[in-house]
Amino acid sequence: MATATEADAMRRALALAARGLGSTSPNPVVGCVLLDARGRAVGEGWHQRAGGPHAEVSALCSAAEAGHDVRGGTAVVTLEPCNHTGRTGPCAQALIAAGVGRVVYAVADPTPAATGGAATLAAAGIDTEGGLLADEATAGNIAWLTSVLSGRPYVLWKYAATLDGRSAAADGSSRWITSAESRADVHRLRAEADAVIVGAGTLRADDPHLAARGWEDVSQPLRVVVDTHATVRPGARVLDDAAPTLIAVGEDADTTHLPGVDIVRLPHEGTGLAVDALLAELHRRGVRSVLLEGGPALAGAFVAAGAVDRVVGYLAPALLGAGPAALGDAGIATVTAALRLGITDVTRLGPDLRITAAPTAHAPEES
């Protein structure tokens, strides 16, 4: 059974893993803390970017550079050490070669190619235990786990609204409904996401830039515009070189005015594009987490498709009484059919409230 020292080390490993959010896709975020035979922390690391050293190897290098001996010690890892050779070698073998005597991990690796690390460690005579702080580790890696088990990116829908649920005024103005504190927090969400999605209506109304600002050394998310009829103009801010951009259009859209722009053609669904086809294309491109920023029609399409995994609402203490609602038609006709959410966090940001919730019946399913 895991000790209190190992639990503390796992909490540190979880914090380390979170540093990789937005930079590791299509790989998971992973943190590792190494304890020597006396239980002292002697090395730590995290997976910083796809193709770079995994957390275990980073931690082993950290310990070696400091002159610490990890033989007979314990590796505390947020994810079961991998058991395959990809762009880097198998972490299970690296831990065996280092001579650790025990490995404690939080969550088993569900990918067919990488799983089996725990069995490999145990076969080498290493005491191996899984499940320590599994719920916390699952929450920290939920985007990657969802992508593995469901075959599509994890979708977080973010919106800003007044207390009466309006995302803009009757004249279409929306800057700024929420506070500077809330807007800064949105840039954090962008920095942690692999892709940010908006619709053509939002692009026309706000000409958003969609890059993450105020964060150092951030891997900018892919900016995605869902623009069925290819109405985006060449001078749109989203087409600058601050971050990569993908324009999703209908199969019959004329895109001759967008030379050199990354275009994907998708089938129509209702009045827009097929959400599942968009998510499949993003998954194929290595996108594992999506921040859906708007507007109401696009959000409604995602809800109707069952493709919203988490909701973050920024509520301003203001009333408009008219104007577009935060959520458009989601195919929900009666109260009994409402998508029920469980609130997981309520935080005050300046004068606003940030409410985080998830569908109560949601869980990643194998595709």
Q: What are the tokens at 296?
A: 């109401």
Indicate the DSSP class of residue 239: G
Mean pLDDT is lowest, of 113-127, 176-190, 280-294, for 113-127
CA dist 179 and 185 (Å) reads: 10
Res. 84: pLDDT tops 90: no
User: What is the distance between the alpha carbons of residues 138 and 329, in angstroms, rounded to a whole number?
Assistant: 32
**Burial of 122 (C-beta count, 10 Å sphere; 0-12/13-18/19+):** middle
Q: Do 290 and 279 form a contact (C-beta atoms < 8 A)?
A: yes
For the question of residue 216 being annotated catalytic, the response is no
pLDDT at 237: 94
* CATH of span 4-140: 3.40.140.10
Query: What is the pTM assigned to this prediction?
Result: 0.88
List, for residues 122-142, the tens digit of each pLDDT value. Answer: 999 999 999 999 999 999 999
Predicted pLDDT at 366: 44
Contact 244, 220 (CB under 8 A): yes
Q: Where are the domains of the chain?
A: 4-140, 152-359
- Other CB atoms within 10 Å distance of the CB of residue 118: 20
Q: What is the CATH number of domain 152-359?
A: 3.40.430.10
Look up tokens 């990809």; give the residue. 86
Give the list of residues 6+ apart from residue 241 with CB closer than 8 angstroms, or none. none
pLDDT at residue 21 greater than cutoff 60: yes
Q: Which of 6, 44, 56, 293 is catalytic?
A: 56
For the chain, what percent of residues have pLDDT higher than 90? 81
Q: Provide the terminal-to-terminal Cα distance of the chain, rounded to the nearest Å.
A: 34
The CA–CA distances, whole Å, from 171 to 14, 168, 345 equal 46, 8, 32
Supply the pLDDT for residue 204.
87
Residue 307: closest CA among 269, 346, 336: 269
pLDDT per residue as tens digits for the range 171-224? 888 888 999 999 999 999 999 999 999 999 888 888 889 998 877 677 899 999
**Buried b or exposed e, range 10-46, using 16+ CB within 10 angstroms:** bbbbbebbeebbbbbbebbbbbbbbbbeeeebbbbbb
Return the pLDDT at 214: 78
CA distances from 353 to 108, 130, 165, 191, 326 (A): 35, 37, 13, 21, 15
Taking the mean position of all CA atoms in its chain, how far away is CA 351? Answer: 27
| Residue range 236-271, pLDDT digits in tens | 999 999 999 999 999 999 999 999 999 999 999 988
Q: What is the mean pLDDT of residues 71-91?
A: 87
Quick check: 363 pLDDT over 60?
no
| Mean pLDDT score across all residues of the chain | 92
Closest of 246, 259, 237 to residue 285, by C-alpha:
246
pLDDT exceeds cutoff 70 at 278: yes
pLDDT the model gives residue 201: 87
**Res 270: pLDDT:** 86
Task: Give residue 361's pLDDT band: very low, low, confident or very high (50, 70, 90).
Answer: low
Per-residue pLDDT band for 153 (boundaries 50, 70, 90) equals very high
